[in-house]
Amino acid sequence: MPPPIALSASSSSSSSFYLLTPPTSSSSQRIPKTPPFSANNRDRDTTLPLTATKTLRFSRRRSMACSAVSIEKETPEAQRPDTFLRESSSSSSVRARFEKMIRDAQDSVCKAIEAADGGGKFKEDVWSRPGGGGGISRVLQDGAVWEKAGVNVSVVYGVMPPEAYRAAKAASADLKPGPVPFFAAGISSVLHPNNPFAPTLHFNYRYFETDSPQDAPGAPRQWWFGGGTDLTPAYIFEEDVKHFHSVQKKTCDKFDPTFYPRFKKWCDDYFYIKHRGERRGLGGIFFDDLNDYDQEMLLSFATECANSVIPAYIPIIEKRKNTPFTDRQKAWQQLRRGRYVEFNLVYDRGTTFGLKTGGRIESILVSLPLTARWEYDHKPEEGSEEWKLLDACINPKEWI
């Protein structure tokens, strides 16, 4: 799931944004040590005077000490708050309207998923951060239709180290800002059906703001939108893929006719498993760091994209969820799930961001399926239905 939010994320990832606190400044210049690695040293002091670092060996411990940032842990909450925003936030701000949009989308998608499943119910966890913000994680597992379905939202404030900023914004490695204050909000979801003829879906929509880096006073505040929706089937039904892409194109065309071809290619390029030479699935739309249009237009566009998830996906599920299948077809689905795992853990910017900032691990990895499979040197027979899917992942097609 791409950066970002609890989501991928994902996009995506997929992934959440997590709140950080900057290192405390003091005259003694205390430097954080390596985080404890076992229960036996949890209570040890985690700082030492600057002069003491001279005695440390040139090791992983020392290299980590120079860039460590203390991380606020989540606090479980018994009830959902009306808003995760700070009291100073205006209800008419982009932040407030984006939060309302993603929470409404979470409610509507979860309702549609439960209705299609016919029995499964989402488990909900609400959490907050001491410094501000929080999130709502919802997961349905072992349902009649879905093996695992996660739909998460987060709205957080924080300060991220330079490496996390580069992961979030795909910034150049030679960019060396200090700790960057940020605000991030987003919805992220990955839906893994049981039936190998029913496709996996991922979607993620997020809004991000940064203030001036601490070593760049006076630098302008930045904001951007990101996200996308993409389809990952194990078997190709052309009418399903065309329906899905048609909904994405119709949504994009309401705002700019160049959006769909541009974001469709972006999606094909982003969800690329480099070490396999193939895409994760059959694409959709994806965009990131988008701020070169009017902010109100992009807010409306992100809203329309989130609202298009149900009409793009649920009709396909209803058509395929009860299709009979064999053990061989299930095994192929599990192999494709393995590809999904590889992309999310190795390449997804959202997952990378979450792991680098030490965020809520259940939210970061919610995109992973309950089950997957890796076979040594598996090659589908040329011309088979499995081969057709793999060929489409290696050679992206124009579906509409």
User: Which amino acids are annotated catalytic?
Assistant: 202
Sole residue written with tokens 């992942």: 393
Residues 6+ positions from 70 with CB-CB distance below 8 Å = 20, 21, 22, 23, 24, 32
Residues 6+ positions from 245 with CB-CB distance below 8 Å = 264, 283, 284, 399, 400
Q: Is the peptide bond before 12 cis (omega within 30 degrees of 0)?
A: yes
Instruction: Give a three-class secondary structure readout of 131-176.
Output: CCEEEEEEEEECCCCEEEEEEEEEEEEEEECHHHHHHHHCCCCCCC
- Among the listed residues 375, 7, 386, the one whose alpha carbon sits nearest the alpha carbon of residue 184: 7
Report the distance separating Cα 170 and Cα 126, nearest Å. Answer: 29
One DSSP character per residue, 290-307 reads: E-SS-HHHHHHHHHHHHH
